[in-house]
Amino acid sequence: MTLRALRTLVMQEDLNFLLTNRVPRIALTRAMGRFSRIRNRWVCRASIGVWRLFTDLDLSDAVPVEYRSLHECFTRELVPGARPFDPDPAVLASPSDGIVGAFGQVVDGRVFQAKGYPYSIEELFGPTQDTQPFRDGVFLTLRLTSAMYHRFHAPHDCTIEHVTYLSGDTWNVNPIALARVERLFCRNERAVLRARLREGGHPIALVPIAAILVASIRLKFIDLRLHLRYLGPDEIGCKVPVVKGEELGGFEHGSTIVVFAPRGFEPCAGIGVGTRIRAGQPLLRLPEREAQDRAQDGAQPDARPGAPDAQPGAQSGVSGPAG
């Protein structure tokens, strides 16, 4: 059987769903976590070689390094400038690499993960969170494939105000599973990052969602790793100012991030279902009134108190706003 035929077979919907969902998902996820951390260059090289057979893995923009484990390759950092963030203060940039999935208006607190499969933001955010700012807002789903860059960043100058951790299952989050499993995002392990933009004071939320083989989310801004065996507090209050492009955290492998913003935000030009996007590229535009006021006043975004002179995110290969 040729490699192309094997890829086609694996992506056959019924077989793909069977192989990636009708299995002991959590046990396999934990086993993958242990395997990925084996520090042996031959195991690592062989694993990356197999990985390349089934994905478009591209390490050309990664910091040159001899990976000691598969985990180090998954969580790689990029060379400086590999992901420049759009400096326009009227733009909410993409927090991560990804493929745009479902997006549009939140209607009375209901969102669609796929056609015919709605879920409520109350269930996604958990019972402790006030979802009122987003009940008639906008949402956009970004799916990270296993080969993509797995860190995520601040989409705008903002303050991270709260983190909610919700443990759960590890269903696959590919389009095949999303079209078959109701409320899938609400079943999986996830974190809810609540933030407030310094531009206009708008609230936003980022919801990183884990998946099979990917049940671990590292948050850099509070130095915390959330995973299936995490026993710490589920509600984490914080007041962490970050600048556009600053690294917030990352997945251990890859998964999905759902972005929420209030009414008035609009998708940027070129954003559509299936669009491949990189961290830093324009994702949503702030409400027009804010943009007009800013243009008239010539206002600039506030500088982060105590921020270093270096470009934000430079160690992760991400450039902040020009100048």
Q: How confident is the model at residue 323 (pLDDT cuts 50, 70, 90)?
A: very low
Which stretches within 117-240 are classed as H helix?
A: 121-125, 175-178, 184-187
d(CA 99, CA 253): 15
d(CA 210, CA 62): 23
pLDDT in tens, 152-211: 999 999 999 999 999 877 767 777 777 888 888 898 889 999 999 998 999 999 999 987
In a domain, 292, yes or no: no
98 and 68 assigned to the same domain: no
In a domain, 108, yes or no: yes
Residues that are catalytic: 97, 153, 255
pLDDT in tens, 102-121: 999 999 999 988 767 889 99
Q: What is the pLDDT of residue 3?
A: 52
pLDDT in tens, 249-297: 988 655 899 999 999 999 999 999 999 999 999 999 999 865 545 544 5
Q: Is the pLDDT of residue 307 over 50?
A: no
Burial of 63 (0-12, 13-18, 19+ CB in 10 A): middle
Mean pLDDT of the chain: 81
Residue 24 φ/ψ, nearest 5 degrees: -70, 85
Closest CA to 320 of 142, 155, 149: 155
Question: At which of 35, 51, 74 does a domain end?
Answer: 74
In a domain, 298, yes or no: no
Classify 114 as helix, strand or coil: strand
Instruction: Provide the sign of the torsion angle of the four alpha carbons 310, 312, 315, 319, taken in this order.
Output: negative
Burial of 171 (0-12, 13-18, 19+ CB in 10 A): buried
51 and 8 assigned to the same domain: yes
103 and 182 assigned to the same domain: yes
Closest CA to 285 of 28, 90, 39, 126: 90
pLDDT in tens, 32-44: 767 777 899 899 8
149 and 244 assigned to the same domain: yes
Instruction: Provide the sign of the torsion angle of the four alpha carbons 81, 82, 85, 87, taken in this order.
Output: positive
190, 184 Cβ separation under 8 angstroms: no
Q: What is the pLDDT of residue 77?
A: 92
68 and 151 assigned to the same domain: no
CA of residue 253 relative to chain centroid, distance: 11
209 and 251 assigned to the same domain: yes
Q: Check residues 309 and 186 and name the one with the higher pLDDT.
A: 186
CA of residue 96 relative to chain centroid, distance: 5
276 and 179 assigned to the same domain: yes
Percent share of the chain, pLDDT over 90: 47
Question: At which of 74, 97, 128 does a domain end?
Answer: 74
Domain residues for 62?
3-74
64 and 102 assigned to the same domain: no
Neighbours of 58 (CB within 10 A): 11
Q: What is the pLDDT of residue 72?
A: 87
d(CA 101, CA 175): 8
In a domain, 171, yes or no: yes
In a domain, 103, yes or no: yes
Identity at 23, one-letter amino acid code: V
In a domain, 139, yes or no: yes
185 and 280 assigned to the same domain: yes
212, 241 Cβ separation under 8 angstroms: no
Global pTM reads 0.81
Total domains in the fold of the chain: 2
Neighbours of 74 (CB within 10 A): 22
In a domain, 299, yes or no: no
In a domain, 147, yes or no: yes
Kind of pairing, strands 158-166 and 203-209? unpaired
Give the pLDDT mean for 20-30.
Answer: 61
Q: What is the pLDDT of residue 4?
A: 59
154 and 260 assigned to the same domain: yes
21, 212 Cβ separation under 8 angstroms: yes
The arrangement of strands across the sheet holding 98-105 comes to 235-242, 158-166, 190-197, 203-209, 256-261, 138-143, 98-105, 276-277
Question: At which of 54, 74, 94 does a domain end?
Answer: 74
d(CA 32, CA 20): 13
Which stretches within 112-270 are classed as H helix?
A: 121-125, 175-178, 184-187
Kind of pairing, strands 318-319 and 83-84? parallel
158 and 264 assigned to the same domain: yes
159 and 264 assigned to the same domain: yes
